[in-house]
Amino acid sequence: MSSESGNSTREREKAADSPQAGDSEDRDRSRPVYDGNGYVLALDTSTASLAVALLRDGCLVEEKHTIVERNHSIHLMPHLQELLASRGIQPKDLAAVVAGQGPGSYTGVRIAVTAAKTFAWSLGIPAAAVSSLEALALGGRTALLADTAGNGADDAVRWFVPLMNARRGQAFTAVYASAGNGPAAGLLGLEGANGGAESGSTGSGWARLQPDGIRLVADFARHIGIAAGGAEAPGTTGAESAGDGGAFVVPSAFAEPQEIVFVGETSFFEEAIGQAAAELNIPVRVLPYDMTAAEVGLLGLDRLKRGETIDKYTFVPNYTQLTEAEVNLMAKAKS
């Protein structure tokens, strides 16, 4: 056989093994569907908190989280085994799995996503992925309302700014807004008809105002204050203010918040938050909070019920930024 013929044969074999458009469409059609029944496993490893939870019928059944910096790959499976054993169930009893997809620790986010994809593939169950920052913001809201029960107006509007340390004054962050003091499940529309907010999650009481990204906290906090109407800046007007993630487009239901809440790894940014708070006419709350998987599960149920499942073969985490090695490699390629 000639070398040219051999190369052609190898190319055909390689093409046959590669995923094609038709393969992707077939996978979409055959993707498992969540019917709303059974146990849902939720997990997140994007921060120092290794978080797992079990939900059923839209309610939290059991939750476990532990601070195990840099050891998630070692501890995740034992945590999951303990969680399932506490309820006397086995992996085969799971109806779906949900993972926090990041952003966050570059190594960490891959662990939960890989575990979720493995469960989905081996058990033939649907999987969903949610923003770890959104889960952090929603969890902070739950903790805040538990601490301030009965002390706030039922229609209170709050903006939540989740923070995960990204070093050098930067954070993985976003802005989410809530209206009302109801439980998270109701906020997301899991206890009835979905409200259909224009951005973020589908519940009418919850919305994303700025997308997940990596930002300088000092600058971003200032932009948030301007957008909320609590600070002045030349050429900007409240909800039209542009932040690092683009212009704030604030639905009327979430305009003029009564409070801005910085939640998560706040200890790294106390000075930046303090400076921003001094310029605002809106109350600012700082809420240190460790990630839990309960809200990962609730957000995942929202996705699952809408049929928004992931392709277990191709899905990758949201890293937000390149690793230092990738940056160096790109710099070498340009030089």
Distances (CA, A) of 251 to 22, 208, 211, 329: 39, 10, 15, 42
Task: Report pLDDT digits (tens) over 201-216.
Answer: 445 689 999 999 999 9
**CB of 54 closer than 8 Å to CB of 39:** yes
DSSP 113-161: HHHHHHHHHHHT--EEEE-HHHHHHHHHHHHHHHHTTTSS-TT-EEEEE
Under the banding of pLDDT at 50, 70 and 90, the label for residue 220 is very high
Residue 65 has pLDDT above 70, yes or no: yes
Task: Report pLDDT digits (tens) over 169-211.
Answer: 999 999 999 988 777 776 676 653 333 333 344 456 899 999 9
**CB of 143 closer than 8 Å to CB of 294:** no
**CB of 136 closer than 8 Å to CB of 264:** yes
Residue 326 has pLDDT above 80, yes or no: no
pTM (predicted TM-score): 0.81
**CB of 145 closer than 8 Å to CB of 137:** no
Residue 114 has pLDDT above 60, yes or no: yes
What is the model's pLDDT at position 181?
77
What is the model's pLDDT at position 242?
44
**CB of 52 closer than 8 Å to CB of 66:** no
Q: End-to-end distance of the chain based on CA atoms, in angstroms? A: 42
pLDDT > 70: percent of the chain: 74
Beta strands 170-179 and 206-216 are antiparallel
What is the model's pLDDT at position 14?
42
Task: Report pLDDT digits (tens) over 287-320.
Answer: 999 999 999 999 999 899 999 999 988 899 998 7
Residue-range domains of the chain with CATH: 29-131+292-329 (3.30.420.40), 133-288 (no CATH)
Return the minimum-mean-pLDDT range out of 9-13, 226-230, 266-270, 289-293: 9-13
**Helices then strands (H, E): number in the chain?**
10, 12
